[in-house]
């Protein structure tokens, strides 16, 4: 079968769904690759690059669609493109099935199969195909770059002979994929970064990236993101008022605001109101990543940059991934290639459209003359936090009784172990020479102390603890080397085993230490 990629017809779209590298990987799955002439030019991939990768270059969309069994593209197909779809073809693209009823009906009429890349379920196995996250990652990064391009000062603070430059203050509203990418870029550029999200469970992730999470003095049980496909749920009016009050407090302080709040197939919620914009300092910048759905900020104009009366720049561009076409095309084509890997389990160049597979079924919106959107919930649920176990409150008397019982049980176990250990030492001492017993008692006490120390270490510290054991292992290997020349064959065997095991521990400990230190080094 042949997989082809047409030239994107949407105005201003620079991405392409197949790169020379992804074409080579698709060929390993048994497919022949076809591309329309000039399809990759805006992303920096020439026709000659595709030819060198073994891709057939054809002229015109009609020739491309006629030659291909599978068509991979980026933007939502237009009516003319869907008109080329037939029952024996598969289309893989962004489709927006929730807001594209006419497109679904047209796809149904053709009898072809349509796989919508934004419908890939957010489960662990499908992360490599999550094109929505790939593009959101680029959008978040590019949003900070665009903000810096329109901001009149440094991101990082500086102290120079000419004076002190304070760092920029950046607020990221929404800590999804795009928000986290914006947070990472902002902090790496040296800005003081704040982040807000209606899901408090993301606070730890935000803080781990060097940003400060903005908390509200408001308690509301939020819907689990797993139940909404990884997106935040709609908040109550009371929560929204508390949220807006916090933003009004922050507005005069921040220099750059990046809003990412979006709920699929709904108008973007208005989170940055006109009074907040009026309170911002002249020269401040707002980048609204929800501009395509009306924007999170009042005054956002889709695909335009506007400047308010008080000098605040509002950027409403919707083509951030397309502005980084080479990178976006590389990531998107990799998502497509992973999807094709799942569709081709035998690697024989033949599609197996298995509707029992969670990922394939979830992403398929039209198949065999039927609309298959919306999909059923995946059999494997998205990763979600375990519900907290309800622990009944104990009275002070019950707590003291429980602590006393636990102490008595622990004491009983320790006494039992000491008694058994003493009996074993006595038994050995009855038959072993006195010189042996001196060393044996030291050995037993060392094992006991080591066991007690290691047992109390948290599991997360076991790996760094391995590095510390290098010193202990070195002592063991020295003792074994001294005994290797003994006249007893039993001592020689035991010494050899000691050298072997201690050597593994020493070299392994150094490797672990090296890898741990590398984690804290900037590349």
Q: Which residues are catalytic?
A: 122, 127, 130, 133, 231
113-116 and 364-367 beta bridge pairing: antiparallel
Which of 281, 297, 344 minimizes the C-alpha distance to 70? 344
Contacts of 247 (CB under 8 A, 6+ apart): 173, 196, 271, 272, 273, 276
- Is the distance from CB of 315 to CB of 285 less than 8 angstroms? yes
- Measured CA distances, 8 to 72, 76, 449 (Å): 11, 10, 70
- Is the distance from CB of 507 to CB of 477 less than 8 angstroms? no
Helices 177-188 and 131-150: crossing angle in degrees, nearest 10, is 40
Distance, in Å, from the CA atom of 253 to the CA atom of 124, rounded to the nearest integer, reads: 39
Distance, in Å, from the CA atom of 265 to the CA atom of 158, rounded to the nearest integer, reads: 44
Which of 328, 341, 346, 345 minimizes the C-alpha distance to 92? 341
| Residues written for the chain | 523
- Is the distance from CB of 146 to CB of 317 less than 8 angstroms? yes
């Amino acid at each position: 079968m042949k997989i082809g990629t047409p030239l994107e017809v949407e105005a201003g779209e620079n991405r392409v769904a197949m790169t020379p590298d992804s074409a080579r990987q698709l060929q390993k799955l048994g497919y022949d690759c076809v591309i329309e002439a000039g399809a990759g030019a805006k992303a920096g991939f020439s026709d000659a690059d595709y030819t060198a990768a073994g891709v057939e270059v054809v002229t015109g969309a009609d020739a491309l669609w006629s030659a291909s069994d599978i068509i991979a593209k980026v933007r939502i197909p237009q009516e003319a493109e869907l008109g080329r779809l037939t029952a024996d073809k598969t289309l893989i693209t962004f489709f927006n099935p929730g807001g594209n009823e006419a497109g679904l009906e047209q796809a149904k009429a053709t009898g072809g199969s349509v796989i919508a890349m934004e419908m890939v379920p957010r489960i662990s196995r499908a992360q490599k195909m999550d094109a929505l996250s790939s593009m959101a990652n680029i959008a978040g990064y590019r949003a900070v770059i665009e903000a810096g391009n329109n901001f009149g000062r440094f991101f990082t603070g500086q102290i120079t002979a000419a004076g002190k430059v304070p760092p920029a203050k950046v607020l990221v509203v929404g800590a999804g994929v795009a928000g986290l990418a914006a947070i990472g870029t902002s902090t790496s550029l040296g800005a003081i970064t704040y982040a807000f999200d209606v899901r408090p469970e993301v606070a730890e992730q935000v803080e781990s990236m060097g940003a400060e999470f903005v908390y509200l003095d408001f308690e509301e049980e939020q819907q689990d993101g797993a139940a909404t496909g990884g997106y935040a749920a709609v908040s109550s009016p009371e929560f929204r008022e508390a949220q807006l009050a916090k933003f009004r407090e922050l507005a005069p302080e921040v220099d750059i605001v990046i809003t990412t709040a979006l709920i699929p197939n709904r108008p973007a919620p208005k989170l940055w109101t006109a009074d907040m914009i009026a309170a911002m300092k002249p020269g401040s910048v707002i980048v609204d990543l929800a501009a395509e759905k009306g924007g999170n900020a009042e005054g956002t104009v889709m695909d335009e940059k506007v400047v308010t009366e008080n000098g605040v720049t509002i950027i409403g561009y919707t083509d951030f991934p397309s502005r980084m076409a080479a990178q976006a095309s590389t990531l998107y084509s990799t998502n497509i290639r992973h999807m094709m890997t799942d569709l081709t389990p035998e690697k024989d160049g033949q599609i197996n459209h298995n509707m029992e597979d969670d990922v394939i079924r979830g992403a398929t919106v039209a198949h065999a003359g039927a609309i298959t959107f919306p999909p059923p919930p995946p059999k494997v649920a998205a990763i979600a936090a375990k519900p907290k176990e309800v622990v009944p409150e104990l009275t002070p008397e019950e707590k003291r009784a429980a602590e006393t019982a636990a102490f008595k049980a622990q004491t009983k176990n320790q006494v039992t172990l000491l008694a058994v250990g003493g009996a074993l030492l006595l038994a050995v001492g009855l038959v072993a020479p006195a010189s042996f017993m001196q060393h044996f008692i030291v050995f037993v006490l060392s094992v006991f102390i080591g066991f007690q120390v290691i047992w109390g270490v948290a599991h997360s510290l076991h790996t760094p603890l391995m590095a510390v054991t290098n010193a202990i292992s070195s002592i063991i290997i020295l003792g074994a080397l001294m005994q290797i020349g003994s006249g007893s064959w039993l001592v020689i065997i035991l010494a050899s085993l000691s050298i072997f095991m201690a050597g593994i521990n020493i070299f392994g400990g150094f490797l672990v230490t090296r890898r741990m230190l590398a984690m804290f080094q900037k590349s």
